[in-house]
Amino acid sequence: MAQETAPQGNGIESLGDLTGRRVLVRSDLNVPLDGSRITDDGRVRASVPTIQGLRDAGARVVVLAHLGRPKGEPDPAYTLAPVAERLGELLGTEVAFATDTVGESARAVVAGLGDGDVAVLENVRFNAGETSKDDAERGAFADELASLVGDDGAFVSDGFGVVHRKQASVYDVAQRLPHAMGGLVAAEVEVLRRLTEDPDRPYVVVLGGSKVSDKLAVIDNLLGKADKLLIGGGMLFTFLVAQGHSVGQSLLEEDQVETCRDYLRRAEETGVEIVLPSDVVVASSFPSGGAAVEASVVPADAIPDDKLGLDIGPDAGRAFAAALKGARTVFWNGPMGVFEVPEFAEGTRAVAQALTECEGLSVVGGGDSAAAVRQLGFEESAFGHISTGGGASLEYLEGKALPGIDVLED
C-alpha cells in the first residue's frame, strides 16, 4: 500500500466565517464525455471535498469550471450540464445549473441559493474574456464573475489543472475577492514540493506518453533531481534511435534524437540512471476501430522494419517494477503503451501495480496516467496521490511559475 499524503491545511479558514456568504469556487471539471455521458468522473469526485467543506461552513457555493476548448462562445457539445448532474449525485443534493456564466440565468440561480446550496455556472470558456490575452478584456469578465457574489463574497481556487493558465476565473478573480486555496490545490502543491525540493531517496521518475517533446523541460529539470528515469510510451523510440537502434515504423521524433543523446550523456555524467525497455510489444499497424491486431514481443534493439512498438514488453515491465520496488519517492506521468487496447496495456499495468506496492510516496501525474489506473481497475486509494493536473504538474516540475498559485500567495 502506498503512503498517503495529506494537505497541510487548505487555507479556507483564512476567509473567516462563511455562513450566508457567496463563494466562487474554481474547480477542474474538465472530464471526458461520450456524447452526454461522462466516461471518467475522477475530476468531479476530486472536487467534492472542498465543495462539501464550504457547504458545511454554511457558504452559498457557486462553481466555475470549463470543459473542452470552445472558441469563446456557447457550444452545446461542451455544456457542463451533465457534470452538474454528476456533482449533485456525488454530493447527495440538488445542484442548480445556470445556462450561462454571467448572464440572466447565472444571476437568478445565484440569487436563489440558500446556505449550503450549490450551483454550477455554464462553461466559463463560452466567454471570450476567460482566455483573452488582453488584460482589460479578461479583467472585465472577472469583474462580472466577482459581481455575482457581492461585496462580502470570496474566491476559492480548487482547480489545480488550470493554475498554470493566466485566465479570468483562475487569476483575475483572485485579484478582486478575498481568496484561498481549496483542499485539492493545497494537496497538489504540497505533493509537488515534496517531489522537487527535498525528495526522499531513492527517487524514481517514470515517464511515458507519446512524445519526447512534451516532456523535454521535465526531463531537463529532473536529470538534476531524480536517481532513476524509466522511459516508456511512444517517447522511448526516440531514445532507442539515439542509442543507434532501428525502431521500424514506431513513433519517432527525428528532431529530438540529438536531444535524447545529450540526455543520455548528461545522465551518465551526473550518475542518474536512465532505464529503457529491453523488449517491446509490436504490431503491423496501429489499433483502430476495434479491429483485431496481432501483437508480438521483440527485443527493443531488434524491432522489425515493418512493425511499430505499442507497449513495453514483459521483461521491461518486470525490470521497471524492480526499479520501483525500493523507491522512497516515485513520480509517474504517461502510460507505457496504448493502454486502451488490452494487448498493449500490460506495461502500464505493471507500472501501476508496482506503484501500489511502493512503501514511499507514489504520485500519479494526472491526465492519461490517472485515466489508465482507473480503467485498469486499480483503487485510487492504493496510490499516495493522483494528480488532477497533468499540464500544471509538469510545468511545476519544469520549475515554471504557476500564475494561479502565485496570485494566491500575496
Catalytic residue numbers, as ranges? 43, 211, 367, 391
* Rounded Cα distance, 4 and 383, in Å: 7
Helix (H, G, I), strand (E, B), or coil: what is residue 376? coil
Amino acid at 164: H
Question: Residue for cell digits 514506431?
Answer: 250
The CA-CA-CA angle for residues 279, 280, 286, to 5°, reads: 170
Biggest CA-to-CA distance, the chain = 67
Least Cα distance to 354 among 316, 393, 397 occurs for 316
User: Which DSSP symbol is given to 244?
Assistant: T
Residues 6+ apart with CB under 8 A from 237: 247, 250, 251, 252, 309
Annotated binding site: 28-30, 43, 66-69, 125, 165, 215, 309, 340, 366-369
Give yes or no for a cis peptide into 202 (omega within 30° of 0).
yes
Residue 213, all three cell numbers: 517533446
The CA-CA-CA angle for residues 203, 346, 380, to 5°, reads: 60
Helix (H, G, I), strand (E, B), or coil: what is residue 393? helix
* Rounded Cα distance, 253 and 235, in Å: 8
Annotated binding site for substrate: 28-30, 43, 66-69, 125, 165
Q: What residue spans of 126-242 are helical by DSSP H?
A: 128-131, 135-147, 183-196, 216-222, 236-242
DSSP 303-366: --TT-EEEEE-HHHHHHHHHHHHT-SEEEEES-SS-TTSGGG-HHHHHHHHHHHT-SSEEEE-S
Annotated binding site for ATP: 215, 309, 340, 366-369
What is the SS3 string spanning 264-310? Answer: HHHHHHHCCEEECCCEEEEECCCCCCCCCCCCEEEECCCCCCCCEEE
Least Cα distance to 219 among 197, 200, 239 occurs for 239
Cβ-in-10-Å burial (0-12, 13-18, 19+) of 24 comes to buried
DSSP 14-82: GG---TT-EEEEE------EETTEES--HHHHHHHHHHHHHHHTT-EEEEE---S---SS--GGG-SHH
